[in-house]
Amino acid sequence: MEEKIKQLRALLADIADLSYTAALLDWDQQTYMPVGGAKGRGNQMALLRHLVHERATSAELGKILDVLQPYADSLDPDSDDARMVKVTRRAYEKAVRVPGRHVVEFSQASTLGQQAWMEARAKSDFSIFRPHLERIVALRQEYATFFQNFDHPYDTLLDDFEPNMKTADVKAIFDGLRPRQVELIKAIAGKAQVDDSFLHQPFDENKQWDFGKQVITRFGYDWNRGREDKAPHPFTTSFGINDVRITTRVAPDFLNTMLFGTLHECGHALYGMGVAPELERTGLEGGASLAVHESQSRLWENLVGRSFPFWQCFYPRLQETFPQLSGVPLEKFYKGINKVQPSLIRVEADEATYNLHIMLRLELEIALLEGKVAVKDIPAIWNEKMREYLGVTPSSDAKGVLQDIHWSGGAIGYFSTYALGNLISVQLWEKINQDIPDLVEQIRQGKFEMLLGWLREKIHRHGSKFDPQELVQKVTGSKIDPAPYERYLTKKYTEIYNL
């Protein structure tokens, strides 16, 4: 079977290289490509994704998988080869159901959609993006029809980002979480609000950029294997474990945007850089799922970056960088960056209200896929749900329905992974603190080697060998559980707001 394994690895390496090439073009589109390049880029992306699809659905690949299945069944189920066969077969069985024609059409639509979204967001005009979103939604609806073995059409899309997770599972988690978060937000609303006015003043953009780089360098981001650039919406992308790039955006008069966006994307990148080298170009080099990926970004952004011990180390340096903060005591700064206030922009939302943004988007995505809501009505429904969920109303499309890039790229089925990632992050955090009893003191001293080492050993090195629920259970002893997250939020905000 050794020869067949080599053949499988060769096929998977070709698929990986083509996928990385497509990712490189996508990175360029979101960072440096001139506006006029959108149509040509759409053609290029369509060709690459069509080539990927051809190889991922080839008869040759199917035959090799059939020959290797008995061999894989005889191995330790957690071995690299057994998992490679299992993960590849799962992807193959999904891919063969999708016509190549659909792959090309979807690629072209999403590439043009991203460019239209950028223009629409810049002009705060949903009508520019509307026809593109209508086309993308129609293609996502068609995609769901290729699969008849799911309980709900949305399961099909969710499964692409969160393997084996069901819409009903996500709804059940959210239904249990929502009333507790609403209760916490109401309790906070009854208390005196903390002051964060010092965060809303001019901050030199270059100094913000440099400070963010200093922090993530301490986290362990390897600049020989990555770089940072600006983008309209922050993202991380990988062209292999030795080329993992991040982007962020900078607000000239609000510190949180760049700072926590950079920490967030660094968390994604550390995951990508930490995959075991032997998994590269095998189909196992990605993360376990988008939720597990989000657990890493939210862990570094919130559990580390918004913690009091972290700022005991880094706040004096921030004050040196921005003397306008010299009169702001550490405790006041800490409370300010953790202020709970319903707001318009998801990526800048506080931890207590963040998941409500996700629940809103999940409801809209399901309604769009079911055909119960028309794209033309989305801006009004978005604003209505923002009032219902958060008590705020967007003043423009840019601060409302156009704030996220995901739909423009066709990533419908994605948003719930953000909230699931929050839950997983705290589950992992409780286990980390058990295994590293002096973690708080290490963070206070700006030492992150043991934390990163734990994540590399328990999470990163496995790539996508394990399904998300399976990985979380292996590491923490239970599947995704909202209880640790609820405990964390209650404790943190009880202390900040004297609840």
The secondary structure of 222-248 as a DSSP string is -TTS--EEE-SS--EEESSTT-EEEEE
CA distance to 74, 221, 227, 243, 496, per residue, from 224 (Å):
40, 9, 8, 8, 39
CA distance to 252, 262, 293, 347, 440, per residue, from 233 (Å):
16, 12, 17, 9, 32
**Residue 414: predicted pLDDT:** 87
Confidence of residue 151 (pLDDT cuts 50, 70, 90): confident
**CA–CA separation, 420 and 465 (whole Å):** 19
**Residue 149: predicted pLDDT:** 80
**CA–CA separation, 61 and 70 (whole Å):** 16
Asked whether residue 20 is domain-assigned, the answer is: yes
**Residue 173: predicted pLDDT:** 87
Identify the domain boundary among 115, 149, 183: 149
User: Does one domain contain both 145 and 171?
Assistant: no
Confidence of residue 425 (pLDDT cuts 50, 70, 90): very high
Burial letters for 350-360: b for 16+ Cβ neighbours within 10 Å, e otherwise? bbbbbbbbbbb
User: Does one domain contain both 254 and 117?
Assistant: no
Asked whether residue 76 is domain-assigned, the answer is: yes
User: Does one domain contain both 130 and 204?
Assistant: no
Cβ(421)–Cβ(163) below 8 Å: no
Can you name the residues that pair with 230 across neighbouring β-strands? Answer: 248
Asked whether residue 388 is domain-assigned, the answer is: yes
Asked whether residue 154 is domain-assigned, the answer is: no
Task: List, for residues 36-89, the tens digit of each pLDDT value.
Answer: 998 899 899 999 999 999 999 999 999 999 999 999 999 999 999 999 999 999
Mean pLDDT to the nearest integer, 298-322: 98
Q: Average pLDDT of the chain?
A: 94
Here the tokens at position 168 are 């009903």
**Residue 272: predicted pLDDT:** 97
Here the tokens at position 470 are 């399976």
Cβ(115)–Cβ(129) below 8 Å: no
* Whether pLDDT at 189 is above 80: yes
Here the tokens at position 11 are 């096929």
Question: What is the side-by-side strand order in the sheet with 244-248?
Answer: 228-230, 244-248, 236-238
Asked whether residue 161 is domain-assigned, the answer is: no
Here the tokens at position 173 are 């988690």
Identify the domain boundary among 86, 114, 149: 149
User: Does one domain contain both 181 and 328?
Assistant: yes
Model confidence, pTM: 0.91
Domain that holds residue 123: 2-149
Who wins on pLDDT, 454 or 184?
Answer: 454
Q: What is the CA radius of gyration of the chain?
A: 22
Confidence of residue 433 (pLDDT cuts 50, 70, 90): very high
Asked whether residue 120 is domain-assigned, the answer is: yes
* Whether pLDDT at 277 is above 80: yes
* Whether pLDDT at 468 is above 90: yes
Task: State the catalytic residue, choosing from 265, 285, 294, 301.
Answer: 265
**Residue 176: predicted pLDDT:** 86
Going by C-alpha positions, the residue among 460, 77, 474, 73 that lies closest to residue 299 is: 460
User: Does one domain contain both 198 and 114?
Assistant: no
Task: List, for residues 11-37, the tens digit of each pLDDT value.
Answer: 999 999 999 999 999 999 999 999 899
User: Does one domain contain both 121 and 223?
Assistant: no
* DSSP reduced 3-state for 470: helix
Confidence of residue 307 (pLDDT cuts 50, 70, 90): very high
* Number of independent structural domains in the chain: 2
Going by C-alpha positions, the residue among 367, 366, 343, 365 that lies closest to residue 354 is: 343
User: Does one domain contain both 399 and 455?
Assistant: yes
User: Does one domain contain both 308 and 425?
Assistant: yes
User: Does one domain contain both 80 and 180?
Assistant: no
**CA–CA separation, 337 and 9 (whole Å):** 47
Identify the domain boundary among 149, 183, 213: 149
Task: List, for residues 232-275, the tens digit of each pLDDT value.
Answer: 889 999 999 999 999 999 999 999 999 999 999 999 999 999 99
265 is catalytic: yes
Mean pLDDT to the nearest integer, 158-166: 91
Mean pLDDT to the nearest integer, 469-494: 94
User: Does one domain contain both 83 and 195?
Assistant: no
Task: List, for residues 210-231, the tens digit of each pLDDT value.
Answer: 999 999 999 999 999 999 999 9
**CA–CA separation, 284 and 425 (whole Å):** 22
User: Does one domain contain both 412 and 314?
Assistant: yes
Going by C-alpha positions, the residue among 230, 315, 212 that lies closest to residue 266 is: 212
The backbone region for 371, taken as left when phi is positive above 0, alpha when psi lies in -120 to 50, beta otherwise, is left
**Residue 233: predicted pLDDT:** 82
Cβ(154)–Cβ(167) below 8 Å: yes
Cβ(235)–Cβ(265) below 8 Å: yes
User: Does one domain contain both 128 and 171?
Assistant: no
* Whether pLDDT at 1 is above 80: no
Asked whether residue 156 is domain-assigned, the answer is: no
Give the CATH number of the domain where residue 418 resides: 1.10.1370.30
Write the CB contacts of 16 (distance below 8 Å, at least 6 apart in sequence): 240, 280, 281, 282, 283, 285
Asked whether residue 160 is domain-assigned, the answer is: no
Here the tokens at position 329 are 């005591």
- Which one-letter amino acid corresponds to residue 194? V
**Residue 3: predicted pLDDT:** 92
**Residue 293: predicted pLDDT:** 96
